[in-house]
A and B are shown apart, each in its own frame.
Chain A
Amino acid sequence: MWGILGRRAVDGGFSASSLRRMRSGLVSARSYAAGSKEMTVRDALNSAIDEEMSADPKVFVMGEEVGQYQGAYKISKGLLEKYGPERVYDTPITEAGFTGIGVGAAYAGLKPVVEFMTFNFSMQAIDHIINSAAKSNYMSAGQINVPIVFRGPNGAAAGVGAQHSQCYAAWYASVPGLKVLAPYSAEDARGLLKAAIRDPDPVVFLENELLYGESFPISEEALDSSFCLPIGKAKIEREGKDVTITTFSKMVGFALKAAEKLAEEGISAEVINLRSIRPLDRATINASVRKTSRLVTVEEGFPQHGVCAEICASVVEESFSYLDAPVERIAGADVPMPYAANLERLALPQVEDIVRAAKRACFRSK
């Protein structure tokens, strides 16, 4: 039902406010449903790929260790046994190679799902992603479309150091021709990955290693094989009226925890899960800020030219007169990620940082 609501919203059938009312209504309706299931993000991704491969023989998976090893993070578990080595392809170690091959296969009409062991390694293939995949449809005037999905863990994990912890959301989301998605919950993972695989444009799908093992409640509707979420729509995870907190991926969990703490102090925070970094749902963000008059935007990645910077610019441009406080940006520290656990914690946004920023925006603290 979320999917249908989302689609209607895209068609303009519902206004943002009525949509929010219906969503909150559904949230309460769901909590009465008996025996609600839970699913890990890992299983959500696995089931999404499985179902899409089953539905469309052109879909195939490619990447290092995706086959016999069942996937470096077990996202492709069981797929080799089910679909065979032609559709679950273990590649040699060459990101440039297999990304190029994926793009070529997509040019020829197949639908590859290319896994990067982490998006840090995608830098070795970035020319194929940007100069070939992103720009081909435009350069060929619609003759060559590239229905490819690039997926894998993005951003910081735990204790993996600088070359395994960078967030690429801002880099990829700056490129016209790409779509960039960042799921948070299991439902996000299922719905967005299915949408990405079905989409005729190249999609960069940014997962998070630490979320793979996390369990989330999942509705019957989201478990259906035809379930799909719209690309370009953010989700309001928690409604509020005092301050808007926008974020994506793992930080959504942090923001929700921060909202709980703020509620104890009488601040009602609205948490927006972006879901889609490109196209960015500026309409939802601005509508929320016009309601709350305050913005706190959170991301894990480096601060300069980040996703938060874009959101701040959008809000200042479109909702300036609604703002009662300066916009707040919380991002990772402007340093390559250190390894030591204490340093790593200091280099990433924490719940307390979000709480403090929200309070600052509400003039509750210095």
Chain B
Amino acid sequence: MAMLFARSRNLVSSLRQNLGLSAILIKRNHSSPRPVFTNYQLSSRVFLDPSTSFRHESTAVETQPDLVQQSDHEDDAQELDFPGGKVGYTSEMKFIPESSSRRIPCYRVLNEHGKIISDRDFIPVSEKLAVRMYEQMATLQVMDHIFYEAQRQGRISFYLTSVGEEAINIASAAALSPEDVVLPQYREPGVLLWRGFTLEEFANQCFGNKADYGKGRQMPIHYGSNQHNYFTVSSPIATQLPQAAGVGYALKMEKKNACAVTFIGDGGTSEGDFHAGLNFAAVMEAPVVFICRNNGWAISTHISEQFRSDGIVVKGQAYGIRSIRVDGNDALAVYNAVRSAREMAVKEQRPILIEAMTYRVGHHSTSDDSTKYREADEIQYWKMSRNPVNRFKKWVEDNGWWSEEDESKLRSSTRKQLLQAIQAAEKWEKQPLTELFNDVYDVKTKNLEEQEVGLKALVEKQPQDYPTGFHI
């Protein structure tokens, strides 16, 4: 704080002159190298500490609908010095309204019939990429359907679908580079699918068998894979947000050409970690892309009961984070937005917030029956008329890149592969007893070694107490 005053020689003289006044007036042209922002322009200035080199001033936000009304009063030209920078003042008492007269519009490229609305702000997608994206979206659909049924049949204990959010899953993954580190919430298996996780690997994790990379330690859908730069799904909500800021910070310190990308739902933004994660990422100037899947529901809590703001996108500015609202059911829009966000995050070393509007067509999970708290009609509407997979399919077909034959071939072969994967995963044996005690620490501690020896001896001594085929 003392440094701010030291830097401005004019202030010292004006302080002397204006001691009698209740406010300290600062002349507009003072010896600062940076442009001075006047009254109500929305600016976020980072107080620059000369001893640091990497913190810089963030630029003013452009073309955003004003949250604050402009005023014509004469004394608005005057400014006050406060910790945090200069701020104009006004003698007009005006409260910033709780909501803007107009909601932030969402960016979309394709209309509901799969036609491009305007190619003004649109990165073209090649046939190869588009076809791959569509195939993966359809694969995700089939995978969700089959695993859900498997849970209903009692073959796996739990499952969570991403129905209705296939565009967010696949298009965001397609827009990232493989070095970008993904910290998922739990409704983004499509990102892992895109990066090369096989249907067999998904099945193995759900069955917690010996081939599972997680060694049977986690419940189903808690996928994770180091080699795919996809951190293991963690159940407590929103903990991945400050962790993503930490990953971003690590990438920044190591000067990598990569960013952290993390996902959260509308409900998760109520967690304290949302505030900490975004605030921190902004202060640290960490390359993180925060993607919020606003799908309208947090189990049975509708968004009207979750927050009173205009969704999540308006919260970005509160943290000094550049943000955009996107039609999450438009694969091309999601692709474009994530790609641009990623560029900005890495080039400018800053966090970006994307709010992807969508609808959770499925139940929260297999432990939920959403018809108990929402209309079946509503679900049907989104499932049929606002289906992101069908919408993208129309565009791909219109380009002549996909046919009905391709469609039926893909769906039937994927279905077959999944059924086989499930059958194989089911038969595969479970982890041996030794895996109970591994990985608690990097190197097993003595007490764990003793416990393992003791348990092995017990199992050998009392085999009747342990199921047949129990693996030691």
Contacts and interface: CB of A to CB of B under 8 A. Distances in A.
Q: Do A and B form a real pair?
A: yes
B263 interface: no
B116 to A, nearest CB: 38
A97 B242 contact: yes
A142 B243 contact: no
How many chain A residues sit at the interface, stated as a range, is 35 or more
Interface string A140-180: 11111100000000000000000000000000000011010
B246 A132 contact: no
A100 B226 contact: no
A278 to B, nearest CB: 8
A143 B276 contact: no
Interface in A66-125: 84-86, 89, 91-92, 94, 96-110, 112
Given A100-B273, A100-B277, A139 B243 contact: no
A176 B214 contact: no
Given A100-B245, A138-B440, A279-B445, A94 B276 contact: yes
Interface string B430-472: 0000010011111001110000000000000000000000000
A97 B283 CA distance: 12
B250 A94 contact: no
A297 interface: no
Contacts of A279: 445-447
B273 A97 contact: yes
A201 interface: yes
A191 to B, nearest CB: 18
A362 B235 CA distance: 52
Contacts of B280: 91-92, 94, 97-98, 101
A199 B442 CA distance: 9
Nearest to A127: B236
A85 B442 contact: no
B392 interface: no
A19 to B, nearest CB: 15
Contacts of A105: 246-247, 249-250
B376 interface: no
B213 interface: yes
B232 A143 contact: yes
Given A97-B276, A144-B231, A103 B222 contact: no
B446 A144 contact: no
A106 B249 CA distance: 10
Contacts of A283: 446
A96 B273 CA distance: 7
A92 B251 CA distance: 20
A282 B447 CA distance: 9
Contacts of B212: 141
Contacts of B283: 92
Contacts of A319: none
B15 to A, nearest CB: 25
A34 B250 CA distance: 46
Nearest to A99: B242
B268 to A, nearest CB: 13
B54 interface: yes
Contacts, number: 163
A323 to B, nearest CB: 21
B141 to A, nearest CB: 28
Contact of B244 (A104, A112, A131): A104
A247 to B, nearest CB: 20
Contacts of B326: none
Nearest to A94: B276
Contact of A141 (B239, B248, B439): B439
A141 B243 contact: no
Contacts of A177: 440-441
A232 interface: yes
Contacts of B250: 104-105, 108-110
B226 A102 contact: no
Given A108-B247, A138-B217, A142-B439, A132 B224 contact: no
A92 B231 contact: no
B236 A100 contact: no
Contacts of B284: 89, 101
B183 interface: yes
Contacts of B215: 141-142
Given A94-B280, A137-B439, A100 B239 contact: yes
Contacts of A13: none
A128 B284 CA distance: 19
Nearest to A141: B215
B254 to A, nearest CB: 8
Contacts of A101: 242-243, 245-246, 249, 277, 280, 284
Given A92-B279, A92-B283, A139 B251 contact: no
Given A86-B253, A97-B273, A97-B279, A103 B246 contact: yes
A22 B226 CA distance: 46
B234 interface: yes
Contacts of A282: 447
Contacts of A128: 239, 242-243
A213 interface: no
A107 B243 contact: yes
B32 interface: no
Given A107-B243, A127-B239, A131-B234, A142 B438 contact: yes
Chain B CB count within 10 A is highest, among A92, A104, A138, for: A104
Contacts of B236: 127, 131-132
A141 B215 CA distance: 6
Contacts of B438: 141-142
B151 interface: no
Contacts of A103: 242-243, 246
A141 B246 contact: no
Contacts of A293: none
A86 B49 CA distance: 13
Contact of B241 (A100, A106, A108): A100
A195 to B, nearest CB: 13
Contact of A104 (B214, B232, B243): B243
Contacts of A94: 242, 272, 275-276, 279-280
A200 interface: yes
Given A85-B52, A107-B247, A137 B440 contact: yes
B273 A140 contact: no
Contacts of B442: 137, 145, 199-201
A136 interface: yes
A70 to B, nearest CB: 14
B181 interface: yes
Interface string A259-295: 0000000000000000000011011000000000000
Nearest to B181: A108
A213 B49 CA distance: 32
A108 B234 contact: no
11 contacts: A91-B280, A96-B273, A97-B280, A101-B284, A104-B249, A107-B243, A131-B236, A137-B442, A140-B224, A140-B232, A144-B232
List 4 A-B pairs, minimum CB-CB distance, nearest first.
A104-B246, A97-B276, A100-B242, A104-B243
Given A128-B239, A144-B226, 6 more contacts: A100-B243, A104-B244, A132-B239, A141-B212, A144-B224, A200-B442
Interface of B: 49, 51-52, 54-55, 181, 183, 212-215, 217-218, 222, 224-226, 231-232, 234-236, 239-251, 253-254, 260, 272-273, 275-277, 279-280, 283-284, 435, 438-442, 445-447
